[in-house]
């Protein structure tokens, strides 16, 4: 049995920084990672076109000025290989690998109330004991295999974007089918279309996508960004989305039609997420939202030459932004290529597969390869995949049966000394997730420091604190348009998952202030017990 002060699960961006932070506190720590390398989601998601849709300078650690200055981002939005190289650079620069056990998948964890420590099992790769268990398992890390009738009959290659072969895949000359038009599909489709003999996209629901206008960063801009880093980071910390961009200052409804059209056009030309975040009434006013949505639909119709295809690509079933916006590079333009076809599987559903074809109600599509860009069991999937048992052997899965919850999105009642980085109830996926991770790691570092100084051996969220936090998470979401969509934010993409809006919608800056306030009130809402009190 290996013993440490803390076991961290996952060596993505959260796990790496958590390890560094714990070392700084003088705690011993081991990170258990299922993959053979660091990087988390960026280790597994190697599909063609995979890149970050938050700008590279923003989507990077802010805690080390040395790392900021030493690393050079090549593009406005970094591609997956570059982000993975960055994660490796950080791991080497901070000498993190010696405390990471690769190829070690955590299968179970049990809290021992008498000893106040966690026993962590890996199903053959060893057992571990630690006072603290920190789940850095990521919000989007468990791929969702879609329930496709008869898929087992298909003898062609089946690839999932979130579990892509490390050696890559040669699409040349192949007839390829792709299911899923969320961020992953929207990024992969233009690249696969250029490589494959023919690409058929099977679309269930169209998404809104904004151009990335990705480009190489000129040296002068890189130099300037590095000079301005502290100001930019401060701006991000004080913002809704944890990003540098200007946000929330325009009201769609207060503008004249001409001003509005100009503002939409400017945001479209600027590209990326600021199309959503620049307008303060877009996410809570249906009329404002519809105007922004209509502008994007008009863009789609102007780009896509075939009228019927353009109509199929126009989202009509959800307000813009209520499903996560996609950010693309020539996504809509791809449908003008002669080797690309779009099939609406809502009106012509998939009925089955044969050894070499996908069949819809009306048509047989011969395929060599099927790409699944069908998403994730988001926010909770990586946690409920592990048999986590807290006080009285209660399982996390059971305690989340009616919906996931965590106090501040960080700590779950009944699971003392376990913490979740960017868990349900925190801004996580609605913010720049690297900053969301940093804020959690830093806040948790302070809590553990406080525990050490005060001789506290057990930390647990009170049930009332968690309930009231999750009530606020839900009520805040209900004041917006977010819950109107069948999105993975509410777990709607996983059959049987309770419909609960999981992220915190009030903004990164509001959330950070709430966390600070909890800390300065002596960690209000947490039961902090000294060893003697626990034993009693």
DSSP classification of residue 379: T
Helices vs. strands in the chain: H and E counts, helices first:
17, 20
Here the tokens at position 258 are 């001409």
Shortest CB 450 distance to ligand N01, Å: 33
CB 100 within 8 A of CB 19: yes
Collapsing DSSP to helix, strand or coil, 183 comes out as: helix
Shortest CB 195 distance to ligand N01, Å: 19
Stretch that binds ligand N01, among 65-73, 139-147, 379-387, 411-419 (CB under 6 A): 139-147
Distance CA 105, CA 95 (A): 22
Shortest CB 53 distance to ligand N01, Å: 4
CB 345 within 8 A of CB 365: no
Shortest CB 318 distance to ligand N01, Å: 9
CA 223, 226, 230 angle in degrees (round to 5)? Answer: 150
Closer to ligand N01 by Cβ: residue 40 or 414: 40
Shortest CB 145 distance to ligand N01, Å: 9
Please state at what angle helix 80-93 crosses helix 13-24, rounded to 10 degrees.
10
Here the tokens at position 211 are 């151009």
Stretch that binds ligand N01, among 45-53, 121-129, 237-245, 444-452 (CB under 6 A): 45-53
By CB under 6 A, tell whether 488 contacts ligand N01.
yes
Distance CA 406, CA 398 (A): 14
Residue from 156, 182, 272, 405 touching ligand N01 (CB under 6 A): that is 182
Shortest CB 315 distance to ligand N01, Å: 10
Residue from 60, 62, 122, 184 touching ligand N01 (CB under 6 A): that is 184
Closer to ligand N01 by Cβ: residue 77 or 400: 77
Residues 6+ apart with CB under 8 A from 403: 470, 498, 499, 500
Stretch that binds ligand N01, among 26-34, 118-126, 144-152, 462-470 (CB under 6 A): 144-152
Shortest CB 14 distance to ligand N01, Å: 15
Count residues near ligand N01 (CB under 6 A): 27
By CB under 6 A, tell whether 147 contacts ligand N01.
yes
CB 256 within 8 A of CB 293: no
Stretch that binds ligand N01, among 47-55, 67-75, 224-232, 412-420 (CB under 6 A): 47-55
| Interface with ligand N01 in residues 318-377 (CB under 6 A) | 324, 345, 373-376
Largest CA distance in the chain: 74
User: Which pairing describes strands 456-461 and 526-530: parallel, antiparallel, or unpaired?
Assistant: antiparallel
By CB under 6 A, tell whether 116 contacts ligand N01.
no
Closer to ligand N01 by Cβ: residue 40 or 425: 40
Residues 6+ apart with CB under 8 A from 205: 181, 315, 317, 318, 323, 346
By CB under 6 A, tell whether 177 contacts ligand N01.
no
Residue from 140, 236, 252, 441 touching ligand N01 (CB under 6 A): that is 140
Here the tokens at position 480 are 């917006």
Closer to ligand N01 by Cβ: residue 330 or 458: 330
Report the residue count for the chain: 536
Collapsing DSSP to helix, strand or coil, 118 comes out as: strand
By CB under 6 A, tell whether 146 contacts ligand N01.
yes
Here the tokens at position 427 are 């801004």
Shortest CB 271 distance to ligand N01, Å: 13
Closer to ligand N01 by Cβ: residue 21 or 76: 76
Tell me the residue nearest to ligand N01 as measured from the CB: 182
Distance CA 380, CA 386 (A): 10
E strands in 206-323: 209-211
Residue from 7, 18, 34, 53 touching ligand N01 (CB under 6 A): that is 53
Which residues are at the interface with ligand N01 (CB under 6 A)?
Answer: 51-53, 140, 146-148, 161, 179-185, 187, 204-205, 324, 345, 373-376, 429, 488, 493
């Amino acid at each position: 049995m290996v013993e440490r002060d803390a076991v961290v699960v996952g060596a993505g961006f959260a796990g790496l920084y958590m390890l560094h932070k714990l070392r700084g506190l003088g705690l011993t720590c081991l990170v258990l990672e299922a993959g053979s390398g660091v990087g988390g989601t960026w280790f597994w998601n190697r599909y063609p076109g995979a890149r970050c849709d938050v700008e590279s300078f923003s989507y990077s650690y802010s805690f080390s000025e040395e790392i900021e200055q030493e690393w050079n981002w090549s593009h406005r939005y970094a591609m997956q290989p570059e982000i993975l190289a960055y994660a490796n650079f950080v791991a080497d620069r901070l000498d993190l690998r010696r405390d990471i056990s690769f190829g070690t998948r955590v299968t179970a964890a049990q809290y021992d109330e008498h000893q106040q420590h966690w026993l962590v099992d890996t199903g053959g790769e060893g057992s571990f004991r630690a006072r603290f268990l920190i789940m850095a398992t990521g919000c989007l890390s468990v791929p969702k295999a879609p329930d496709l009738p008869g898929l087992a009959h298909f003898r062609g290659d089946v690839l999932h974007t979130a579990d892509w072969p490390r050696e890559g895949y040669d699409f040349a000359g192949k007839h390829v089918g792709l299911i899923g038009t969320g961020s992953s599909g929207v990024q992969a489709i233009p690249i696969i279309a250029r490589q494959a003999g023919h690409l058929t996209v099977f679309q269930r629901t169209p998404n809104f996508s904004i151009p990335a206008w990705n480009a190489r960063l000129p040296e002068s801009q890189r130099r300037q960004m590095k000079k301005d880093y502290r100001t930019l980071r401060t701006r991000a910390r004080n913002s809704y989305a944890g990003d540098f961009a200007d946000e929330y200052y325009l009201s769609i409804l207060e503008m004249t039609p001409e001003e509005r059209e100009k503002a939409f056009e400017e945001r479209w030309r600027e590209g990326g997420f600021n199309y959503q975040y620049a307008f303060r009434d877009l996410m809570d006013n249906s009329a404002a939202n519809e105007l922004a949505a209509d502008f994007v639909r008009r863009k789609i119709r102007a780009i896509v030459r075939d009228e019927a295809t353009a109509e199929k690509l126009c989202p009509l079933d959800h307000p813009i932004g209520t499903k996560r916006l996609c950010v693309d590079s020539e996504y809509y333009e791809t449908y003008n290529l002669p080797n690309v076809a779009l099939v609406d599987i809502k009106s012509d559903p998939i009925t089955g597969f044969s050894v070499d074809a996908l069949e819809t109600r009306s048509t047989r599509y011969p395929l060599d390869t099927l790409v699944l860009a069908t998403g994730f069991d988001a926010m909770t999937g990586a946690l409920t995949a592990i048999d986590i048992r807290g006080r009285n052997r209660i399982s996390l899965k059971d305690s989340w049966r009616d919906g996931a919850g965590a106090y501040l999105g960080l700590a779950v009642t009944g699971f003392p000394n376990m913490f979740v980085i960017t868990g349900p109830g925190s801004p996580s996926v609605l913010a720049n997730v690297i900053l969301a991770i940093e804020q959690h790691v830093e806040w948790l570092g302070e809590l553990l420091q406080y525990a050490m100084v005060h001789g506290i051996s057990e930390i647990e969220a009170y049930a009332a604190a968690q309930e009231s936090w999750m009530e606020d998470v839900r009520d805040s979401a209900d004041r917006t348009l977010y819950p109107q969509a069948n999105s993975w934010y509410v777990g709607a993409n996983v059959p049987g998952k309770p419909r609960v809006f999981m992220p915190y919608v009030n903004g990164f800056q509001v959330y950070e202030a709430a966390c600070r306030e909890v800390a300065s009130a002596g960690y209000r809402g947490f039961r902090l017990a000294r060893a003697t009190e626990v034993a009693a």
